[in-house]
Amino acid sequence: MGNLVEIKNISFNFGSTEVLSKINFSISKGDFVGLIGPNGSGKTTLIKLLLGLYKPQKGSIKINGKDISEFSDWGKIGYVPQKATNFSDTFPASVQEIVLTGSLSNKRFLKKYTSKDYDLALEALKKVEMQDFLNRRIGELSGGQQQRVFIARALITNPEILILDEPTTGVDQETQTKFYDLLHTLNKEGISIIIVSHDLQRVTKYVTKVASLNKKLDFYGSHKEFCSHPDHDNEHHCLIIKKGHECKEPKCDEPACMKEKKC
Amino acid sequence: MLEILEYAFMQKAFITGIVIAIACSLLGVFLVLRRYALIGDGIAHISFGGVATGLLFNITPFFGALIFSLIGSLGILNIKAKTNLYGDSAIGIVSHSSLGIGIFILSVANGFNIDILSFLFGSILAIKQSEMVLSIVLAVIVIAVIYFFYNELFSITFDENTSKTFGIKTGFLNTLLIVLTALTIVGSMRVVGLMLASSLIILPAASALQLRLSFKKTLFASAIIAVLSVILGLYLAYMFDFAVSGTIVLLNTIMFILTQIYKKVKSMLIKK
Ligand SMILES: Nc1ncnc2c1ncn2[C@@H]1O[C@H](COP(=O)(O)OP(=O)(O)OP(=O)(O)O)[C@@H](O)[C@H]1O
Ligand SMILES: [Mg+2]
């Protein structure tokens, strides 16, 4: 079985500044990759390269064996951007209309929605528990609710790969827990996931691979390996693994602890 | 009041005014939401250079404006893509260069100052049959493009970057939108004049957005507001001998104020 995503020797510059240098790694079907790294380390840039939004100056990216420049099966990729565009609160769009746009990736020229698309939109909204907001205006929702709508927009095509750039920014703890459970379920159903996160602890149980980025790819491997490396001793991404799930006070908001209801 | 429609020049003015109002106000909704509202002004400035060049070389100023605005609007997109400038700076660079050309030509050959005024302030009552037909064709094209590409245009208006990952040809649609805007601005040159050309793009759309309707209804509301302002504006201008373009634009301003009052009243009623 070939790799789902293959990144070979990618380098990327903004003008004369090198942002990514010689990145190599591949993602297999069913992987749940946590992409970590400090601010400005190139995480979003790498994701935009994966999506074909930027073109690498060096190296190649293949999805399902096909070079990204020739890739056209956009319905197979769901993307939740880091920041939704800074649309104004008065933007005249309902939640339903926004989610439906996700299905445009499965359509050819002169794209119109079918009644099936409306069903799929409702289904996607149910997955993020936003079905009651179907006809609300997007600008009237809270930031976290909007984020859930954007996740639904990415899910509407039942993608094979879900790419999420800090998707839970501004989402409350309880919803985050549900959201990560949802990702876990999707992953078990066979969807590969790439998630940029500043807080891997929340996904610890589910992440199969960790990619640590800082212009170069510092590390790529399992979460356990990552944390057993002496350099990563004090990484907050490893606290749970180091200390186990002691569900005492300050950790009560962690998904594992909330589940065990020990708090 | 209907007797003014007995004059052929009035019929042409009404028909041209109405179709241009529809084209401008529909495009306006997309442009205003994408923060491209000022592109109308930019293209009007560009057209001014074209009008002056046309007058200088004895080409129909209409075609001068058309050619300048097409090249200029593509130039804006190009500058925006090639440099890291925001859209408004790109608009500024191209439009002021063209405006500079126009003013330079005017100062060198200062024989046609009077002609130029009719382009700056409109001359809807002197519209020719051919201009009316062109305006109708233009409006039909704008409506057709919005109808056929509605979902894609909606998607890129809301979130252009993510739309690219849906396989939407954002470059093509952006170009289409800007080119149609350029054509529409040139078309509205005779209706409201270049000075006020972008008012029919910005004001009806801005008013319609205040009403908090769905996207489709916003498009309709914008068109209705613009058409009403043209009909009423022409009528009032005829009755009281006002300047047509100024009257149309002021009516749009009044509509905008009315939408504000409507919003206030509505929120007060909801509170009760
Ligand atoms: N459009 C741009 N033009 C120029 N430089 C850019 C642009 N976008 C990002 N950069 C630079 O590229 C580097 C990597 O940015 P990137 O957004 O990929 O970081 P990130 O890892 O996603 O950071 P964060 O955790 O803050 O989201 C940064 O130094 C940033 O300043
Ligand atoms: Mg980022």
Distance from CA of A22 to the nearest CA of B (A): 24
What is the pLDDT at residue B113? 60
What is the pLDDT at residue B120? 84
What is the pLDDT at residue B183? 92
Tokens (6 digits) for A52:
């074909």
- Per-residue pLDDT tens for A208-250? 888 888 888 888 888 777 777 767 655 666 665 555 444 444 4
Contact (CB, 8 A) for B194 and B44? yes
Q: Give Cα separations from B267 to A90, B80, B212, B261, B271 (angstroms).
A: 15, 40, 12, 10, 6
Chain B residues with CB inside 8 Å of A17's CB? none
What is the pLDDT at residue A215? 86
Q: Closest Cα to residue B238, out of B82, B72, B16, B5?
A: B5
Nearest by CB to residue B168, choosing from A84, A100, A104, is A104
Element (H, E) at A105: none
- Per-residue pLDDT tens for A139-151? 888 888 888 899 8
- Taking residues A97-116, report their average pLDDT: 87
Contact (CB, 8 A) for B220 and B79? no
Give the residue numbers in A contacting B (CB under 8 Å), as ranges: 51-53, 72, 74, 77, 79, 81, 84-85, 87-88, 90-94, 97-98, 100-102, 104-105, 110-113, 137, 150, 153
Question: Quick check: helix, strand or coil at residue A189?
Answer: coil
What is the pLDDT at residue B176? 94
Other CB atoms within 10 Å distance of the CB of residue A132: 10
C-beta of A197 in contact with ligand 1 (< 6 A):
no
- Taking residues A15-28, report their average pLDDT: 89
Q: Closest Cα to residue B198, out of B256, B249, B157, B243?
A: B249
CA of A21 to the centre of ligand 2 (A): 17
Element (H, E) at A122: helix A115-127
Contact (CB, 8 A) for B57 and B50? no
Test A74 with B159 for CB contact under 8 angstroms.
no
Smallest CA separation from ligand 1 atom 26, residue: A39
Instruction: Report the interhelical angle of B87-108 vs B39-57 (nearest 10°).
Output: 20
C-beta of A16 in contact with ligand 1 (< 6 A):
no
Q: Is the pLDDT of residue A110 over 80?
A: no
Domains of chain A and CATH, by start? 5-232 (3.40.50.300), 233-263 (no CATH)
Test A77 with B165 for CB contact under 8 angstroms.
yes
- Taking residues A162-184, report their average pLDDT: 82
Test B167 with A104 for CB contact under 8 angstroms.
yes
What is the pLDDT at residue A257? 47
> Rounded to an integer, what distance in angstroms lies between the CA atom of residue A134 and that of residue A137?
9
Per-residue pLDDT tens digits of chain B, which is 272 residues long: 677 788 888 899 999 999 999 999 999 999 999 888 888 889 999 998 998 888 888 888 888 999 999 999 998 888 887 776 776 788 888 888 888 888 888 888 766 666 777 888 888 888 888 889 989 999 999 999 999 999 999 999 999 889 999 989 998 999 999 999 999 999 888 888 888 888 999 999 999 999 988 899 999 999 999 999 999 999 999 889 888 889 999 999 999 999 999 988 988 888 76
Pocket test residue of A10, A12, A13, A14 for ligand 1, highest count of atoms within 8 A of CB = A14
The answer to whether the Cα torsion of A241, A243, A244, A247 is positive or negative is: negative
Test A84 with B151 for CB contact under 8 angstroms.
no
C-beta of A40 in contact with ligand 1 (< 6 A):
yes
What is the pLDDT at residue A248? 46
What is the pLDDT at residue B30? 96
Amino acid at B255: M
Test B155 with A104 for CB contact under 8 angstroms.
yes
Query: What's this model's pTM, rounded to 2 decimal places?
Result: 0.87
Chain B residues with CB inside 8 Å of A88's CB? 33
Q: Give Cα separations from A224 to A91, A210, A233, A249 (angstroms).
A: 45, 9, 12, 25
Pocket test residue of A36, A44, A50, A166 for ligand 1, highest count of atoms within 8 A of CB = A44
> Rounded to an integer, what distance in angstroms lies between the CA atom of residue A237 and that of residue A225?
12
Chain A residues with CB inside 8 Å of B167's CB? 72, 74, 104-105
CA of B183 to the centre of ligand 1 (A): 38
Closest-lying ligand 1 atom to the alpha carbon of residue A45: 18
Q: Is the pLDDT of residue A252 over 60?
A: no
- Taking residues A204-209, report their average pLDDT: 80
In whole numbers, what is the pLDDT of chain A averaged over residues? 82
Closest-lying ligand 1 atom to the alpha carbon of residue A48: 18
Test B159 with A87 for CB contact under 8 angstroms.
yes
> Among all ligands shown, which has an atom nearest to the Cα of A53?
1
Strands A216-221 and A209-214: antiparallel
> Rounded to an integer, what distance in angstroms lies between the CA atom of residue A141 and that of residue A122?
17
Nearest by CB to residue B165, choosing from A51, A85, A93, is A51
Test B154 with A93 for CB contact under 8 angstroms.
yes
Test B151 with A101 for CB contact under 8 angstroms.
yes
Domains of chain B and CATH, by start? 2-264 (1.10.3470.10)
Contact (CB, 8 A) for A155 and A162? yes
What is the pLDDT at residue A251? 47
Question: Quick check: helix, strand or coil at residue A59?
Answer: strand
The DSSP-derived string for chain B is -GGGGGSHHHHHHHHHHHHHHHHHHHHHHHHHHTT-TTHHHHHHHHHHHHHHHHHHHTS-HHHHHHHHHHHHHHHHHHHHHHS---HHHHHHHHHHHHHHHHHHHHHHSTT-HHHHHHHHH--GGG--HHHHHHHHHHHHHHHHHHHHTHHHHHHHHH-HHHHHTTT--HHHHHHHHHHHHHHHHHHHTTTT-GGGTTHHHHHHHHHHHHT---HHHHHHHHHHHHHHHHHHHHHHHHHHT--HHHHHHHHHHHHHHHHHHHHHHHHHHHH-
Element (H, E) at A198: none
> Rounded to an integer, what distance in angstroms lies between the CA atom of residue B99 and that of residue B103?
6
Closest-lying ligand 1 atom to the alpha carbon of residue A198: 25
- Per-residue pLDDT tens for A43-85? 999 999 999 888 888 999 999 888 888 888 888 999 998 876 5
Residue identified by tokens 């409201």 is B192
Q: Closest Cα to residue B231, out of B209, B208, B247?
A: B247
Pocket test residue of A13, A45, A215 for ligand 1, highest count of atoms within 8 A of CB = A45
